[in-house]
Structure 1
Amino acid sequence: MAEGTAKVAPMVISQGTPAPAPMPGVKAKAVLVVEDDVFLSNLLVSRLQQAGLKVQKAMTGEEALEILRGGTVPSLILLDIILPRKSGFEVLEEIQSDPNLQKAPVIITSNLGQESDIQKGKELGVVDYFVKAQTPIEQLVAKIKGIVEGKA
């Protein structure tokens, strides 16, 4: 290594395992982040990209549905519930009514932590439900990677 250059250490996720580098010639797994909080949205996108995932983001429920209907179905949808114009639950109902979209696993991230909200998410087919204030971002990224890579 030449003098003055630093070797970059791999990102470490929650269990202390280095995140694997994306394989050459293979497209990164895609995640759609649906979150209206700009800071949290940018943080999630950054961490997921560092973990080797391709990320799209939507700030509203309507924008999420436009993205989903206009292209390739992502490997996973990370969905907030409290969104402008169309709630996450309304987005979930539309995803479940579309045979093509219902193939994508959905994880909810929300500040709604009532048992009734969690139950409604499960009834609408989510694979997991995280309360934002109670979930470290590293745990969420590890869960997403596990699902996208078929290890969860």
Structure 2
Amino acid sequence: MTLRKVGAALFAAAAIAVSTVGLGGTAAAHTDGSSGGTGILTSENARQPSLTAVQMRNAVELEAAGSGASAAASLNCAYYHVCGKGANGNRFDYTTCNTTYTLPNLVGWGSLHNNQTPGTRAHFYDVNGAWMFSIDAPARNDVFWTPVWYVIAC
């Protein structure tokens, strides 16, 4: 977990440096910066305010589904839920709106599925609470989870 935190802090610092110089970038998703049918939104018109210190401190941390045999299983995401799985097999499944969740140590590329009611938007944030990207329901995509630390399901 400590190595992940150091890596995420370095990634966040690099992202800040790149955006400060005006090079812009995309979120950690396979997208071109607009919804483009993928559901992932990274453009300025979708930008969300950063999380507050209180939101990060009070973030709900649920136990991750373990790795092993379940890591190979496909991502099943029930209706009304937003779900994801990292390359390490850790996964999440959230449905409660207006709740900030701490993600369960997701690393590497993995799946993201927003299976909430159509038009419902889930928001994802980095270790410092800065907005990274959002995904509208219903949509699926691959995401690089390592720098993503928090989610608000809707």
- Shorter-normalised TM range: under 0.3
Q: Structure 1 length as normaliser, TM-score?
A: 0.26
Q: Which has the higher strand share?
A: 2
Larger of the two Rg values belongs to structure: 1
Greater relative CO (CA pairs within 8 A, separation 6+): 2
Q: Structure 2 length as normaliser, TM-score?
A: 0.26
